[in-house]
Amino acid sequence: MFEKRRPGAVLFDRDGTLIRDVPYNGDPDRVEPMPGALEALGRLRRADVPVAVVTNQSGVAKGLLTPDEMDQVNAKVEELLGPFDAWAICVHDDADGCTCRKPAPGLVIRAAAVLDVSPRDCVVVGDIGRDMEAARAAGARGILVPTQETLREEIRQAAEVADDLIDVVDRVLSDAEGPVPAAAAPWARAMGWSRW
């Protein structure tokens, strides 16, 4: 179990967590935020908790969408729910054997590095077991927000399960203790974006 303390950052999976999951979506017009996403992100930002996106986008490796189409969808997510302090995106598929694709810890480690926080100080929020495995592998706290796509086994195996994104933020902010350290203030962070 993780000790209750102010998180260095909250890292969100994209599809099925922040926005409705449309498999291999390359059309920004099909981007629809999940219920409570805007409110949850707003509360974290007002509390000066950095927020980032960590997402697998294997459709690029599979040739089902172009990098430009993926970027357009991400820009729409940014428009509807941003600004995000960092984006870490894996465009490989399982056959590539990379270290970034969830359940590997690479995206969590990369986002934490861009935000200049330790992965141990991050909370990873996602809707499937891969998200929780990536959090665990990176030493981060994982909170599962199940959807209809989440397997029962993934729910049973999750260290922490929340009802929705508002519940996640309630948990994370109730754990926060003390004032914001100057080094963690928004103006002290550099915005970063990376795609592997």
Q: What is the pLDDT of residues 126-171, one digit of tens each?
A: 999 999 999 999 999 999 999 999 999 999 999 999 999 999 999 9
- Which parts of the chain have pLDDT scores under 70? 1-4, 176-196
Task: Tell me the residue range of the domain where 114 lies.
Answer: 10-195
User: Is position 3 within any domain?
Assistant: no
pLDDT, position 116: 97
Mean pLDDT of the chain: 90
User: Is position 122 within any domain?
Assistant: yes
pLDDT, position 6: 82
Give the 3-state secondary structure percentages of the chain, helix then strand then coil, rounded to 5.
40, 15, 45
| Catalytic residue flag (residue 170) | no
| Domain total of the chain | 1
CB atoms within 10 A of CB 27: 12
pLDDT, position 3: 63
Which CATH number characterizes residue 87's domain? 3.40.50.1000
User: Is position 78 within any domain?
Assistant: yes
User: Is position 4 within any domain?
Assistant: no
pTM for the structure as a whole: 0.88
Alpha-carbon distance values, 78 to 28, 52, 70, 81 (Å) = 11, 11, 12, 5
User: Is position 115 within any domain?
Assistant: yes
User: Is position 85 within any domain?
Assistant: yes
33, 41 contact by CB (below 8 A) = no
- Any idea which residue has 């590095």 for tokens? 113
**How many Å apart are CA 190 and CA 114, to the nearest integer?**
7
Annotated binding site for Zn(2+): 90, 92, 98, 100
| Catalytic residue flag (residue 13) | yes
